[in-house]
Amino acid sequence: MKIRFIAFILFCLSFAFDTQAQSNKLKNSQLPEIFYKRLVGMMGKDEPIEMNLSKIGTTLKGNYYHKNSGQVRALEGEITEEGTINLQEIDNPKNRLTEPQTFDALLSVFFTSEQDLRGGWEQVDSLEDVPFYASETYPVGSVEMNMVRSVEKYGQCGYSPCAEFLLIYPVLKNDIHQEKINKKISSTLISQYAAEEKRSFKNFEEVKADFFTKYKTAEGKAKPDAKPMWGSHHEVEIICNAFYILTLEIFSTAYEGGSQPSNAITYLSFDLQTGNLLTLKDILVNNYEKELTQIAAKIFKANYGFSDIEDLRKEGFTFKDGKFALNTNFGFTKQGILFQYNPLEIGANMIGAPQLLIPYATIKHLIKKESLVLPFVKSE
């Protein structure tokens, strides 16, 4: 009887606390239209988490890191006008363009202030609601950022022919190396467009002018009932912002007629102590190349279910001489080193854009003792 009474009291206190939090819920109109936040909190009683969360209008994207398990899960969802945020916890696919993004859990949260997030987490096949809370914080080794959304259109977009150029990217603030890093982010975004055009551009204005000039030319040549619809979208997502590592993912989609759009995914990892790009040589011991490639090859083959095949050309890949090779498009995450292959890079378009995650646990012996990723290795 005593235990039941105590449980009842705890339930009442929990209900009262949740009701009070609900009364402090901020509506979407009370929040900034665009933001990036780094949050730290707790899921349940004993699961510390770190979260990167960006808001563009009513869309929210990001990821969170479970410190106990070392797992990183992607998040994506919407906020209602009343302030309820439903974020789907998405499995990280091995191929961004060919595998469906499935989710098995839902994070239902709301802001009680611009810095505080609370709510609950539940698996799709479970009725159990696990308490969740997180607060915005930027400890030493992380950086604050503003998100920028720039969109320009020509024509009446919607169901009518038009051209749209969209940029979503972060701008560092209050950091001694912000100018250096911001410049690199901008130049990489410009190069994403320039790669398609095989030309160089000095700034975003030149890029947009070129895009709309080409569209107007194509529109002038088209029949009245066959006006084109073009788009050039470039969006940056924050993957890691901790322990002096800032890793960004740039997802670019371009459609200028043709049968299908072109896509490109690029990773940038910065050392926040210097503002320089992080390289494999910064993280790994000397002469790591051969063994890292061997470990990566095993993971790559296991991902596709053909571990016993030596000549990858038999499976449709176009690696030189059929032998697996790493590329230079990678980022340092909290789980491991993530390599990204873009469409047509190692096979036909149907192969998509394979990702390869090399967990730090599999390469502990290759990681330098003073490496910036060491805190993630220890937490596994």
Structurally, how many domains does the chain consist of? 3
Q: Would you say residue 186 lies in a domain?
A: yes
313 and 292 share one domain: yes
pLDDT tens-digit map of 29-63: 999 999 999 999 999 999 999 999 999 999 999 99
Q: Would you say residue 264 lies in a domain?
A: yes
Where residue 128 falls among pLDDT bands split at 50, 70, 90?
confident
Q: Would you say residue 330 lies in a domain?
A: yes
Containing structural domain, residue 23: 2-136
**What Å distances lie between residue 77 and 9, 166, 248, 307, 375, CA to CA?**
35, 20, 20, 36, 30
Q: Would you say residue 149 lies in a domain?
A: no
Question: In CATH, what number is assigned to the domain containing residue 294?
Answer: 3.90.640.20
Q: Would you say residue 70 lies in a domain?
A: yes
6 and 127 share one domain: yes
320 and 237 share one domain: no
Per-residue pLDDT at 104: 84
Per-residue pLDDT at 380: 44
51 and 75 share one domain: yes
171 and 60 share one domain: no
Where residue 99 falls among pLDDT bands split at 50, 70, 90?
low
pTM of the model: 0.91
Domain boundary among 102, 136, 170: 136
Q: Would you say residue 153 lies in a domain?
A: no
Q: Would you say residue 152 lies in a domain?
A: no
pLDDT tens-digit map of 214-224: 999 999 999 88
53 and 19 share one domain: yes
pLDDT tens-digit map of 341-378: 999 999 988 888 999 999 999 999 999 999 999 999 86
Could you give the percent of the chain with pLDDT greater than 90?
Answer: 72
Question: In CATH, what number is assigned to the domain containing residue 88?
Answer: 2.40.128.120
Q: Would you say residue 222 lies in a domain?
A: yes
40 and 99 share one domain: yes
